[in-house]
């Protein structure tokens, strides 16, 4: 498999250089240049939001910095958590004097380094919220063990809107937690990806196989079966997501994200969305925010994920609030 790179060891740094050149509102900072931040920084007195994660998932994590979104991001090697120093730098760069929310995915390496960084950073007041939207990664009874995947984008947006409006750290963190609690994602893989410099794919599927529930690093899913029609596959994905509807949810209004994992054509994502929208409408649910495109990828993995965010009036307003971010697109 060919990759458009200079060398495996320069992959992440070459990518980050290009990213900030293309989006000059974002700059590289920190001791190792592995921390990104908003060029205009965090205004004094506003709560800051720091995030981080491994490369290989653009636009996640580094692509969601901007006005009304996150303020800094620590970037690790491909599919690896960011190093400790980058996490410290991300926290310090997000500190405007009113505290910092750490909002990132529920992965062991990320947790370890951000936990250590929170004790070493200059910020005096830090709250942590972990995204846990991947329903296939643990049972409902062990929801705290679930991974964070594409649904974290909704948490970025809601928390970022609250911080922009001047909410306290406690309130910004609580909004992020409520958003995470109302967000559910499941993925479907059709072909694996290969890391720069690797000789084989992270995982392999047969030519006629699909895997439901796999993670964005190729973590094992719920089942492998022969390929079926888009309608059949989407029906099961939506059914499993609705079975996970939060207990306290009484709203019929949804934000729906159909996310491409890297190699699936946009046309096929819209085929998935048309079926998802039809099935949800038949269940009496109303999609008020449809999102279709690559929001959280996995290199050149073929497949998609579907995320449902069960809205409240407050959350709907936060998601609709004006914001400016290179990769936030709403139909």
Residues paired with 129 in a beta bridge: 103
Strand order in the sheet with 209-212: 223-226, 209-212, 183-191, 302-310, 253-260, 286-293
The residue assigned the tokens 């099961």 is: 236
Strand partners, 290: 256
pLDDT at position 329: 67
Q: Compute the distance between CA of residue 40 and CA of residue 92 in angstroms, rounded to an integer.
A: 14
Q: pLDDT tens string for the chain (331 positions)?
A: 789 999 999 999 999 999 999 999 999 998 889 999 999 999 999 999 999 999 999 999 999 999 999 999 999 999 999 999 999 999 999 999 999 999 999 999 999 999 999 999 999 899 999 999 999 999 999 999 999 999 999 999 999 999 999 999 999 999 999 999 999 999 999 999 999 999 999 999 999 999 999 999 999 999 999 999 999 999 999 999 999 998 776 789 999 999 999 999 999 999 999 999 999 999 999 999 999 999 999 999 999 999 999 999 999 999 999 999 999 866 4
198: left (phi > 0), else alpha (psi -120 to 50), else beta?
Answer: beta
Which domains, ranges and CATH numbers included, belong to the chain? Answer: 8-181 (3.40.50.10440), 183-320 (3.30.1180.20)
Render 63-78 in DSSP notation, one character per residue. Answer: T-BSBTSBSEEEEEEE
Contact 227, 209 (CB under 8 A): yes
* Catalytic machinery residues: 57, 217
Answer whether 63's CB lies under 8 Å from 11's CB. Answer: no
Q: How many other CB atoms are found less than 10 A from the CB of residue 294?
A: 22
- What per-residue confidence (pLDDT) applies to 330? 62
Q: Is 90 exposed, middle or buried (0-12, 13-18, 19+ CB in 10 A)?
A: buried
Residue 239 three-state SS? helix
pTM of the model: 0.97
pLDDT confidence of residue 184:
98
Residues with Cβ < 8 Å from 139, sequence gap 6 or more?
none
**CA distance to 94, 107, 153, 176, 296, per residue, from 90 (Å):** 6, 17, 18, 18, 20
pLDDT at residue 263, as a whole number: 97
């Amino acid at each position: 498999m060919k990759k458009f790179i200079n060398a495996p060891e320069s992959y992440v740094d070459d990518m980050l250089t290009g990213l900030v050149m293309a989006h000059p509102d974002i700059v590289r900072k920190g001791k190792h240049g592995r921390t990104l931040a908003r060029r205009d920084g965090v205004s004094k007195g506003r709560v800051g939001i720091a995030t981080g994660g491994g490369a290989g998932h653009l636009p996640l994590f580094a692509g969601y910095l901007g006005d009304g979104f996150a303020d800094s991001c620590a970037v690790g090697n491909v599919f690896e958590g960011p190093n400790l120093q980058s996490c410290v730098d991300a926290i310090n760069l997000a500190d405007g004097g009113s505290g910092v929310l750490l909002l990132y995915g529920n992965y062991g390496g990320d947790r370890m380094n951000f936990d250590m960084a929170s004790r070493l950073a200059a910020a005096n007041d830090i709250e942590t919220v972990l995204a846990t939207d991947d329903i296939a990664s643990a049972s409902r009874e062990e929801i705290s063990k679930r991974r964070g995947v594409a649904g974290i984008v909704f948490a970025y947006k809601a928390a970022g809107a609250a911080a922009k409006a001047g909410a306290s750290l406690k309130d910004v963190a609580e909004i992020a937690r409520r958003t995470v609690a109302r967000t559910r994602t499941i993925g479907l893989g059709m072909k694996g990806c290969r890391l720069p410099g690797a000789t084989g794919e992270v995982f392999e599927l047969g030519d006629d196989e699909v895997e439901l529930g796999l993670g964005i690093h190729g973590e094992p899913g719920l089942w492998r079966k022969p390929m079926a029609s888009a309608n059949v596959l989407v029906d099961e994905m939506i059914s499993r997501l609705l079975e996970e509807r939060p207990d306290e949810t009484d709203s019929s209004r949804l934000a729906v994200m159909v996310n491409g994992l890297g190699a699936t054509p946009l046309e096929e994502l819209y085929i998935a969305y048309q079926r998802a929208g039809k099935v949800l409408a038949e269940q009496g649910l109303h999609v008020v925010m449809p999102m279709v495109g690559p929001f959280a990828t996995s290199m050149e993995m073929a497949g998609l994920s579907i995320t449902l965010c069960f809205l409240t009036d407050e959350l709907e307003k936060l998601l609709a609030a004006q914001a400016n971010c290179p990769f936030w697109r709403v139909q």
